[in-house]
Amino acid sequence: MSLLSSSHRCSSNGRSSSARLSRLRFESLCVAALLGLCLSVSDAVAANDEMPAIRAAVFDYFEGVNEVDLVRLERAFDEHAALKSVDHSGALVVEPIADAIDRWMQGEPATRSGKILSMELADGPVARVVFDYDGAYIDFLSLAKLKGQWKIIDKVFIRTGLSADGPVQ
């Protein structure tokens, strides 16, 4: 009988430690989930802190073209950036940013409308912006935080309101 009792006690203690282990696992999962939530909130706050600077870089580009303002354009773009589009024949057209800025500086100041359609901050110093340029183009802008400053590092665009033979933006 003592063997049965002893066995029963082991079983009882086994269930008790199993319950404790389950409770510890549950508590650990809760702590991990709470920590993850806190980190997500922290990341969201950091992302929100970056959004004004990202928006400023995008509007330096937009207003730089509109106002024919070299300072704003150079502030907006990294020197290695390029503009990319697909022409009417389906070929990729790549224009270095220096050439695009030279071309934009030959233009006249203009009043155009533009708006950010979406902004997304990735993990790390990279962001993506979709921008409506006066209803004539949709710009897909890739930005990176370089030496503490947000810069457009790539611009892919499509024409929406012009013929395929219209000027490259």
**CA 93 remoteness from chain centre:** 24
pLDDT on residue 132:
95
pLDDT on residue 11:
46
The residues that bridge with 142 in the sheet, in sequence order, are 128, 154
In the sheet that holds 114-121, the strands lie side by side as 92-96, 82-86, 149-159, 137-146, 126-133, 114-121
Q: What is the CATH number of domain 49-159?
A: 3.10.450.50
pLDDT on residue 139:
97
List per-residue pLDDT tens for the chain, 169 residues long.
Answer: 444 444 444 444 555 566 665 665 656 554 555 545 443 433 444 557 899 999 999 999 999 999 999 999 999 999 999 999 999 899 999 999 999 999 999 999 999 999 999 999 987 899 999 999 999 999 999 999 999 999 999 999 998 865 444 444 4
Say what the alpha-carbon torsion angle 119, 121, 125, 128 is, to the nearest 10 degrees: -40
Taking the model in full, what pTM does it have? Answer: 0.68
Residue spans of the domains in the chain: they are 49-159
